[in-house]
Amino acid sequence: MGKKRKESRPGLSSLELAVMDVVWDLGDCTSAQVTTEFRKRRPLAPTTVRTVLTNLRNKGYIEQLPTAGRVLLLHPAVPRESVARRSLRKLLASLFRGQPKQAIAFLLDDSDMDDRDLDEIRRMLDSHQAKNKGDLK
């Protein structure tokens, strides 16, 4: 089994995460496109959005792609799933003492999941359990 790499990027503020959400949705994009889309979701000065984009670039979450013209093209350097996984691990550690079963129990007690959601979760658990049994052989 491969060695896990430690995440070296600093965490994201809620505003940075909201801007990254737009970048992930758009894919390769310009800062103007990010600003326009972000402002549809939440009113914020364009200069603030551009400042957040600069901070995200400095933190390594987005990168500039080379272009022929003067327009800078931005690209998400970190997949959404990677950030979600890291955020979930931090949440588990801080609120649920690192116990996934406590988090799952909380979600089951405090959510409005219907039978289809619960069936899908059961299928995921069964699949995960079967995979783990296969890894032990």
- List pLDDT tens digits, range 2-26: 444 455 788 899 999 999 999 999 9
Q: Which residues contact 60 (CB under 8 A, 6 or more apart)?
A: 9, 77, 78
pLDDT of residue 1: 43
Band (pLDDT 50/70/90 cuts) for residue 30 is: very high
Q: Is the pTM of this model over 0.85?
A: no
- For residue 50, which of 32, 63, 74 has the smallest C-alpha distance? 32
C-alpha dihedral (117, 122, 124, 130), degrees to nearest 10: -170
